[in-house]
Structure 1
Amino acid sequence: MEKRANNLTKGITNFILSTLIIPLFLFSAHGIAQETDFEEGKQYILGGLTVTGLQSYNEQTVKSYTGLRVGQPIKVPGDEISAVIKKLWNLDLFSNVEMFYTKIEDNRIFLELNITERPTLNNVIVYGVKKRKVEDIIEDTDLKKGKKITESLIANTKNYLQNKYKKQGFLNAKVAIATSTDTTGTNVQNMVINVNKGDKVKIKSINFVGNEKLSNKRLKKSLKNTKKKKFYRFWKKSKYISADFEEDLSNLVDTYAERGYRDARVLSDTFVKLDEKNIELTIKVEEGDKYYFGEINFVGNSVYTDRQLSQVLGIKKGDTYNGVLLKERIADDSKPDAEDLTNLYQNNGYLFSSINPVEVSAVNDTIDFEIRIIEGKETFLDHVTVSGNDKTNDHVIFREIRTRPGQKYSKQNIVRTIRELGQLGFFDAEQIVPDIINPDPNAGTVDVNYSLVESGSSQIELQGGFGGGGFIGTLGLSFSNFSLKNIFNKEAYKPVPMGDGQTFALRLQASRTFRVYSLNFSEPWLGGKKPVRFNLSLSRTQQFATGYNQNGRLDVDKSRGFAITGVSAGLAKRVQWPDDFFTLSHSLSYQLYDFNDYNSGLFNFGNGSSNSLSYTFGISRSSQGPSRIFPLSGSNFELTAKFTPPYSLFSGKDYKQLRQDVDDTTRRLFEIGEPGSAEEQLEFNQLRGELEELEEERFKLLEYYKIKFKGDWYTRIVDKLVLRTNAEFGFLGAYNHDIGDVPFERFYVGGDGLGNFTLDGRDVVQLRGYENQSLTPYITNAITGNLEQDGGTIYNKFSLEMRYPLTLKPSASIYALSFLEAGNAFNNFNDYNPFELKRSAGVGLRIFMPAFGLLGIDFGYGFDTDARPGSVGPSGWQTHFIIGQQF
């Protein structure tokens, strides 16, 4: 039957206008046997409701959503119908909603709801960008499969992409979006986005108008992010980016304000498009007059005297007016721990204080100020809480927190707490947030909650590779948030007992030629009341004798070899003087060096043993932070002194004669050289045996002292670009020169610095751009006559490393770096020259994943010749892989 329009449409006109929705409401009656007139505004009984036009939605679902029920009274037109239509439009699922009446019987009305569904998005194809960028675009614009396609969706997507590329310097960027029906589904469409970024628009010239007091060069320098195009400019780009330019205009005004021109302003800024790739910027300024500070009076202060406040402010009468400096000395927003007036009050309990500089007089070129202070009530901490720690126990966190209930509020203590929690390594340092809650100015109380996000604190090392004549396997487990007290609690194994901040590490490494076992345990708060760290370490290293058979294959004789068994225990305590960043440490260690028919270039005896009992004292200061993985500021200094007992003072042995016998025997061995006759061979073997016995007697009880210094400084250049400056020095000395320097504990310089497998207590020092340990001095072995590495007794090293993070997410922290390094090792102090350095430069990348520790790669170029015999010319390019090294 044919539908007829009737005057019911008039009744909903007001609704259409009031909601700004313009659907077509057409109420009509079908032809029926006996026509019934529709009465506008009359109340009917709803006799039935049908829904037409649906493609993907269920009719009953739509009926239920309208809220209309058969048999209910309904006014036509009326509020019920208007509300239904508005409700459906608000879903943004339909492009058209129409309501009809189909018939009227007695007092009953039958309605039809006709709906046109919006198409659903299926696939999105993006042209004009790199494939790896397509996923980011789809995610940023929320173009998910199944999303309803609307006019606003298309318009918003187009505007977003055009603005995105304009912000990147593509001022000519254009985006076109088209949709097409997809026949594989019901009412679905595909979307095609065509991006034409055009050429990057660069700044060909920057002109200033109206500047007389400051030069063009000075003003251009103040534009930090907006630079003129030059062929040599790499670090600062010359693209025109609107947001950066607006920020630079503020910097321009600040440049004037720093030099006394407080009234300076930018009158206009325009750019002229020279061609598709270049624009010209013109900035018109009004400089105004130069001003000076006059009288500066403090009003409202009672906690601090005028003199104390003046010292912190650091501005005197007659100084050139500097609005930027004045603002920073009142409150420096760029530094949470800045020495300004606001922090002076907030570090002493006055959270609710406010400080405002007010100009009270401006006569000629002099401006008088009042620093008006409202100190507020002294504020105390009421509650201190933590949240987000699912694994780490509360007591581990609270012992590092510098804020306690009942203490005066101190911003300085909050900043320090953030650093200490970040240094634990259990939480994402970037997401530690101190929430100041429930501030009560009348009561003078406030609550602090530290919101934390836990990161992985356990690491696994599983490696395999070939080297040293065979396969090398490594298994390492490190748990840095271990709980020893729960080791027998089955429920605590998730997968191991965690939460008490202890460290437990087990490492196994083995090949055909060697084996290494080590176990380490550390408790940072021995006894639980004071920050006294206890360390215990056990290790066992075995090196087997090797040789090559007639077929050129490596033979391993496990009945002959060299082993080190070691144990060490130490205590380290944080101290309060000179400040509480200092730590004093003490450790006692014992190593047994055991030889069994094993000759090496390191030692002149192949049978017997050496014993080393040593005490190490250390002083360190660590203020780097806030993150342990990527420090932004602070420093780390460490000075250690390792001593053994001076056995020769009370042993009664004539070490002078012993040394003379060693030298005489060595000299005779060199005179014989390669034995020619049977008599010479017999004498050579006899002298060799004597030398081994003499050397074993000389080094039966090792005596030495070893001094090491290492310093790291972290300087934030801009944003998160950080300069790490490093200096290192080490010296191995002897009490008794007749005994000489021990063959152990030497310094080996060069390469990646990895020293996981070491036989003799050596220090392996990183110096990239050279092969591993290739800068270590060589000597002639008295027994074999070969040139072999002896290890240095003194070294120094300096490095500069520029770092920038690519991401600092909990799942993976990645940063790139470039470096300059120089260092060297020497046989003795007489040969030492601190300026005779081996230089290198290069770039690298570091990746820290909680489960695997630190991974990295460096490409370094060595500018000098290494210490290996026969080496000529520069070392050249070297590639270094970093696994598990310190940050």
Structure 2
Amino acid sequence: MFRYVVAIFLGFIFSQNIEIVDIKVEGLDRLNKEDIYRISKLYPGMYLDRGDEINKGINKLWSLGRFSDIQFYLEDESDNGITLKIIIDELPVIGDVKYIGNKKKKDKTLNELIELSSGQIISGNTLFNAEQKIVNDYIGDRFYSVTVSHEIEDTDVDYIKNLNFYIYEGSKSRIKNINIRGNENFPFYSFLNKNQLSKIFGNTKEFKWYFPWRGKFNQSDFDMDIKNLEIFYKNKGYRDFKILSKDIAYFDKKIEINIDLYEGEKYFYKEFNFINNEIFPDEELLKELALKPGEQYNKEKLDIAIFDNINSLYMDQGYYFFNVTEEIVPYGKDSLIVNLILNENEKVRIRKIHIKGNDKTAENVIRRELKIYPGNIFDREKIIESMKSLYMLNYFETVDPQISVVSDKEIDISMNVVEKETGRANFSMGYNEYSGFSGGGGFEFINFLGKGLKLQVDYQKGLQNQINSGFNQSTSSGSADFESFSISFTEPRIFDSRNSIGFSLYKAEQGARSGYSDYDIENIGGSISFGRRFKWPDYYTGGSWSIGIRNSKYFGNLEDLENHFPDDLIHGRNSIPYANRKGLKLTQTISRTNIDNAEFATTGSKLVWTSILSGGFLGGNENYHKHVFNFKWYTPITNKIVFYQNYTFGAIKALVKDEYISSRTRFALGGTGIPYGEMLRGYTDSDLGPRIPGTYSHGGNILFKYSSELRFLLSPSPTVYFILFADAGGIWEDFNNVDIFHLKRSAGFGVRLNMPMLGMIGYDIAYGFDKYDDPLFTDPPRWEQHLIFGVPLN
């Protein structure tokens, strides 16, 4: 506390320039009077001209937190000025801190907990906080009967005091009984009954010897369970439900919880009335409400129906200031009349849209993704779709639209974004126990120069695991190494339009692997592309078309070359024989993506349909057409658990009879899918499908694969999630051999981590249930490990 007395505070002093002749200070132990002058900004010889100097001086001294009492007096007044007297009572400081009675916790632990040490000032607030920290720490360890008191002990120095904390620990207590009275319609315990109240108490459980981890009491968890109990009853129709009393009784080694409740009647809707609605008729509002007379009362569903369904209906039409008042009138014994009083107000237009937080990304890159513009009627749904489009760019951690009211007819919208690192070293690596490591790296910029440009440089390298020698490894190159380099560039919204352009260049060398590829292959080529976002069926849908050229050389045994290629394509017969093919291909891709997040999608789907025509009327001597259909579907279980499904179907057909189709063009299945195959965990890389006995798979012309995953989000930033998965798939030579009832199956678990600058990293452990299509391998592969860098997002 503090008090001050100034005899001339009635305005006489503060109406003149009064000089402070002297300031006397009493009660100082550690400070001197010069310290008081400096802190209070009051000095002998200064003039009081504003009238609040003394008041401010007192506040400055008090804010220092070193005094228990401050008293100001006017000691003398004369024509020369005034003399002030300040009497101060300084708070003591800590000498030693001792604990008495603490058997379960060491002094060092308690010192670290309360954070009090020698030389600190002792105040009532400091002592109260220290006691509460000790009590809460003991309660956290189930010592619910703990009590803590303190004693301030004098020392030889007046202003130094020792602190003694007296602790009565008591015994550990567990919840032994939860007694609920008044629950006539729902039992507390009932085996296999989904409505048993014990399930509602998810955090507060009785201790049982067979559930030794239960029995801990936490007040905040208990309050949450009581809230959940109320929600449960009101969602079951019991609108009048209430808790009459709740008592937590602490005994030496046990806790008893007693709850008295009143269930009331179970209610049903009698009718819904809409009042003051002019924009939409009752029939349309009732349909949008999605509730019917006779239906059981459910508070949660009613709130959603009113404040989501009805509210959205109006806000999507521009009625930003729309609001609804709910009035529920009991009728008879168990019926409710719901009156919804609507205040529709006027339509609102958007005056301005501000972009904030984009330090790296150009403003036009953000604006071109928006589905709503200045001058438009306000539309809540389009704002949500704009947020989704911005998230899908994968440039931003958060997108937060803020609305500012300009007038009753205009609003401003601020799109506040928080950017994240988008450039990354795009390492791509796979490992399994049979084939060892394969992969490479490069750089990927999805927001190059902040203009939304996409630039990617990629290098891949693979080495056959020489430790495993069970397969025939005799090839023309002596290994199954591969190496590739590619560069691509895309302008996804040229001149901020719906159109995109791009190009790519690549060079690849693939070593032969007996059975999978008969030749060492060298490819070099490039492509140019054009794309467009469609207006129909919606703006999630787009297409792209590219024209590419490729020059391929196949090095191998001359006899094999003559069996696979026309004579005019074979060169180097007297030195190093190879076949040289040139192909011109046209690729069309139709896609639709409406997922809500690029790194951890919880809802929506992705569909991609790709068709390739090579040769034929386009010219060249690689003649085939290839089609791949891929569909991904995301279903939310909770906000952190998602069920993911992935369907892939593909087919290749030669345009010329007995046309040789290279292994890089055919489908490959198994393992990580790196560098160009399809993932099917639990098996070695690209090793499923038709094969000559004792060799590797040589791929296939027909592909079918299905994957499902249950994803558990562990961290949103950086994105980390755990997965349980099951895969099934197969590849075949042609449709005559397709058998979707005999697929290769696997199941397992894994984790995904999205590292800034590195991209997605994955580690999977999978069990393959089915054996390879090779009579020499009679057992399934069983457990396989897969380490993957550069996992495609989603």
- TM tier relative to shorter chain: 0.7 to 0.9
Match of 1:71 in 2: 45
Cα deviation, residue 848, structure 1:
1.5
Equivalent of residue 46 in structure 1, options 21, 24, 27: 21
1:344 aligned counterpart, secondary structure: helix
Cα deviation, residue 593, structure 1:
1.5
Cα deviation, residue 519, structure 1:
0.6
Cα deviation, residue 228, structure 1:
4.6
Cα deviation, residue 396, structure 1:
0.5
1:718 aligned counterpart, secondary structure: coil
Equivalent of residue 316 in structure 1, options 278, 283, 292: 292
Cα deviation, residue 582, structure 1:
1.7
- The reply on whether 1:453 has 2:418 as its aligned counterpart is yes
Cα deviation, residue 91, structure 1:
1.9
2:696 aligned counterpart, secondary structure: strand
Match of 1:622 in 2: 593
Alignment deviations for residues 361-399 of structure 1 (CA, whole Å, 9 cap, x no partner):
513433223221110111111111111111111100111
- The reply on whether 1:387 has 2:356 as its aligned counterpart is yes
Cα deviation, residue 347, structure 1:
0.8
2:302 aligned counterpart, secondary structure: helix
Matches within 5 A, 1:752-791: 752-755=672-675, 763-779=676-692, 787-791=695-699
Alignment deviations for residues 658-704 of structure 1 (CA, whole Å, 9 cap, x no partner):
xxxxxxxxxxxxxxxxxxxxxxxxxxxxxxxxxxxxxxxxxx82222
Alignment deviations for residues 410-445 of structure 1 (CA, whole Å, 9 cap, x no partner):
1111111111111111110xx32111112533xx11
Matches within 5 A, 1:427-442: 427-428=396-397, 431-441=398-408
Task: Name the count of aligned residue pairs.
Answer: 729
Aligned pair in 2 of structure 1 residues 266, 46: CA closer, same or farther (>3 Å)? same
Aligned pair in 2 of structure 1 residues 701, 162: CA closer, same or farther (>3 Å)? farther
Letter of the structure 2 residue corresponding to residue 408 of structure 1: I
Alignment deviations for residues 622-652 of structure 1 (CA, whole Å, 9 cap, x no partner):
1111x211122222122222222446xx99x
Match of 1:565 in 2: 524
Query: Which consecutive unaligned segments of at least 5 residues does structure 2 have?
Result: 7-17, 98-102, 153-158, 464-480, 566-576
Contact 2:455/2:490, CA 8 A, preserved across alignment = yes
Contact 1:346/1:409, CA 8 A, preserved across alignment = yes
- Identify the range of structure 1 (154-163 vs 562-571) with the bigger mean alpha-carbon deviation: 154-163
Cα deviation, residue 195, structure 1:
13
Equivalent of residue 706 in structure 1, options 615, 619, 626: 626
User: C-alpha distance in 1, partners of 2:93/2:723?
Assistant: 50
Matches within 5 A, 1:21-420: 46-47=21-22, 62-72=36-46, 84-93=57-66, 116=90, 151-153=124-126, 155-156=128-129, 159=132, 163=136, 170=142, 172=144, 207-216=179-188, 217=193, 218-220=195-197, 223=200, 225-226=202-203, 228=205, 240-271=217-248, 276=253, 281-332=257-308, 340-360=309-329, 362-420=331-389
Cα deviation, residue 302, structure 1:
1.0
User: C-alpha distance in 2, partners of 1:813/1:188?
Assistant: 53
Equivalent of residue 585 in structure 1, options 518, 523, 544: 544
- Identify the range of structure 1 (795-804 vs 375-384) with the bigger mean alpha-carbon deviation: 795-804
1:748 aligned counterpart, secondary structure: coil
Contact 2:178/2:206, CA 8 A, preserved across alignment = no
Contact 1:169/1:241, CA 8 A, preserved across alignment = no
Aligned pair in 2 of structure 1 residues 244, 474: CA closer, same or farther (>3 Å)? same
Aligned pair in 2 of structure 1 residues 102, 590: CA closer, same or farther (>3 Å)? same
- The reply on whether 1:529 has 2:497 as its aligned counterpart is yes
Letter of the structure 2 residue corresponding to residue 571 of structure 1: F
User: C-alpha distance in 2, partners of 1:846/1:63?
Assistant: 63
User: C-alpha distance in 2, partners of 1:161/1:833?
Assistant: 69
User: TM (normalized to structure 2)?
Assistant: 0.77
User: C-alpha distance in 1, partners of 2:513/2:729?
Assistant: 33
Contact 1:273/1:279, CA 8 A, preserved across alignment = yes
Equivalent of residue 456 in structure 2, options 498, 505, 522: 505
Match of 1:716 in 2: 636
Cα deviation, residue 163, structure 1:
5.0
Contact 1:794/1:825, CA 8 A, preserved across alignment = yes
Contact 1:703/1:742, CA 8 A, preserved across alignment = no
Match of 1:746 in 2: 666
Aligned pair in 2 of structure 1 residues 147, 617: CA closer, same or farther (>3 Å)? farther
- The reply on whether 1:607 has 2:578 as its aligned counterpart is yes
Cα deviation, residue 570, structure 1:
2.5
Query: Which consecutive unaligned segments of at least 5 residues does structure 1 have?
Result: 1-8, 16-42, 181-186, 333-339, 483-497, 548-559, 652-699, 756-762, 781-785
**Percent identity, aligned pairs only?**
28
Contact 2:551/2:580, CA 8 A, preserved across alignment = yes
By relative contact order (CA 8 Å, sep 6+), the higher-ranking structure is 2
Aligned pair in 2 of structure 1 residues 303, 827: CA closer, same or farther (>3 Å)? same
User: C-alpha distance in 2, partners of 1:99/1:390?
Assistant: 55
User: TM (normalized to structure 1)?
Assistant: 0.70
Cα deviation, residue 301, structure 1:
0.8
Alignment deviations for residues 323-361 of structure 1 (CA, whole Å, 9 cap, x no partner):
3322221014xxxxxxx0011001110111111232345
Aligned pair in 2 of structure 1 residues 59, 163: CA closer, same or farther (>3 Å)? same
Aligned pair in 2 of structure 1 residues 580, 279: CA closer, same or farther (>3 Å)? farther
Equivalent of residue 873 in structure 1, options 779, 784, 787: 779
Aligned pair in 2 of structure 1 residues 51, 794: CA closer, same or farther (>3 Å)? farther
Equivalent of residue 509 in structure 2, options 542, 547, 557: 542
Contact 2:489/2:504, CA 8 A, preserved across alignment = yes
- Identify the range of structure 1 (248-257 vs 877-886) with the bigger mean alpha-carbon deviation: 248-257
1:316 aligned counterpart, secondary structure: coil
User: C-alpha distance in 1, partners of 2:714/2:560?
Assistant: 45
Cα deviation, residue 316, structure 1:
2.5
Contact 1:437/1:446, CA 8 A, preserved across alignment = yes
2:354 aligned counterpart, secondary structure: strand
